[in-house]
């Protein structure tokens, strides 16, 4: 459990340390009147599941977050797509087996639907790009890479065509600093870059459970890049997490409030996104996600 708590304080603690956004050509801050929620948002709100009282070990038990209202999000500086920057990139680093390669492609497909933005996988990079001083052997004799090195010395140098967000994916385990055991991922939201490891998501998990975890982690981290803070209103993929056990409990669905925020910035068709998510979950036999999408569809009375 101690190691799990260490992890949490990275992956979603990285959310805490890098909230300040750079002001650039596709960063927006507005003072115009707050628009009312669309009927779609009002209707699906009935399917939000309110969070219970945090238990010992849960993220909200030890992190007294205040949340983020729609008004706070709307008035904040956050990244929005432009004709010059509108593509999400995944950057594999390492040698992936057949199952891992398939999961990366399924993550790419999912992110393209989730954010309704083109998502590409860049050509893989060899592990040789990581120097010895940014490697170590972990407490289970596994090789680990220094997550911060990947952000600072690999990803920040990358300038993919029309890139709005860049996430590296490693098959090796990660650690954030010498005194920490490991971390699932790390992000710099102001630089719109992140790194996640597939290594621990497969521990004691079949293909679909590992994929479900990967979808949650990647959509959560990139959601932060688009200005979403941790959700404290409902069971939501934007909930903070202190362990893989807590991640598994969290919904893969964005709650209505977080959907309203994301849509206000990305301006996609809510119904198109919902139907595409339903199809994705069905085709990939991800039954929990499918049930959530079907419930929203039934609520909306969509044929």
Active-site residue list: 221
Structural contact between residues 79 and 27, judged by C-beta atoms closer than 8 angstroms: yes
DSSP tag of 188: E
Structural tokens at position 104: 């990366």
DSSP tag of 154: I
Structural contact between residues 210 and 202, judged by C-beta atoms closer than 8 angstroms: yes
| Closest-CA residue to 35 (of 80, 67, 75, 66) | 75
For residues 251 and 89, give the distance between their C-alpha atoms in angstroms, rounded to a whole number.
Answer: 24
Strands 87-93 and 119-121: parallel
Taking CB atoms within 8 Å and a gap of at least 24, the contacts of 268-273 are 268/115, 268/116, 269/116, 270/38, 270/40, 270/41, 271/40, 271/300, 271/302, 272/116, 273/113, 273/114, 273/116
Structural contact between residues 214 and 249, judged by C-beta atoms closer than 8 angstroms: no
Phi, psi angle pair for 132, to nearest 5°: -60, -35
- If one counts every other C-beta atom within 10 angstroms of the C-beta of residue 147, the result is 30
CA-based diameter of the chain, in Å? 57
Phi, psi angle pair for 135, to nearest 5°: -130, 160
Q: Is the dihedral of CA 10, 20, 230, 188 positive or negative?
A: negative
């Amino acid at each position: 459990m101690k190691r799990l708590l260490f992890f949490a304080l990275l992956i979603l603690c990285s959310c805490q340390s890098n909230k300040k956004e750079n002001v650039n050509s596709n960063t927006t801050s507005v003072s115009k009147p707050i628009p009312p929620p669309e009927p779609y948002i009002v209707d699906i709100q009935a399917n939000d599941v309110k969070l219970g009282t945090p238990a010992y070990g849960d993220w909200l038990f030890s992190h007294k977050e205040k949340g983020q209202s729609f008004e706070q999000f709307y008035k904040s500086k956050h990244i929005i797509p432009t004709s010059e920057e509108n593509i999400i990139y995944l950057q594999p680093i390492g040698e992936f087996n057949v199952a891992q390669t398939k999961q990366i492609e399924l993550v790419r497909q999912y992110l393209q639907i989730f954010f309704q933005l083109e998502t590409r996988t860049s050509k893989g990079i060899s592990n040789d790009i990581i120097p010895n001083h940014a490697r170590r052997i972990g407490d289970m004799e596994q090789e680990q890479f220094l997550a911060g090195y990947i952000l600072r010395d690999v990803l920040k140098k990358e300038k993919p065509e029309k890139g709005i967000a860049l996430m590296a994916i490693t098959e090796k385990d990660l650690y954030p600093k010498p005194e920490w055991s490991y971390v699932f991922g790390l992000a710099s939201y102001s630089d719109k870059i992140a790194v996640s490891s597939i290594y621990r998501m497969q521990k004691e998990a079949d293909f679909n459970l590992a994929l479900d975890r990967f979808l949650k982690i990647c959509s959560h981290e990139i959601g932060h890049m688009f200005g979403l803070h941790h959700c404290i209103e409902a069971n939501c993929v934007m909930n903070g997490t202190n362990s893989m056990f807590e991640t598994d409990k969290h919904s893969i669905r964005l709650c209505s409030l977080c959907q309203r925020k994301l849509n206000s910035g990305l301006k996609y068709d809510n119904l198109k996104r919902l139907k595409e998510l339903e199809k994705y979950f069905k085709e990939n036999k991800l039954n929990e996600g499918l049930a959530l999408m079907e419930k929203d569809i039934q609520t909306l009375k969509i044929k």
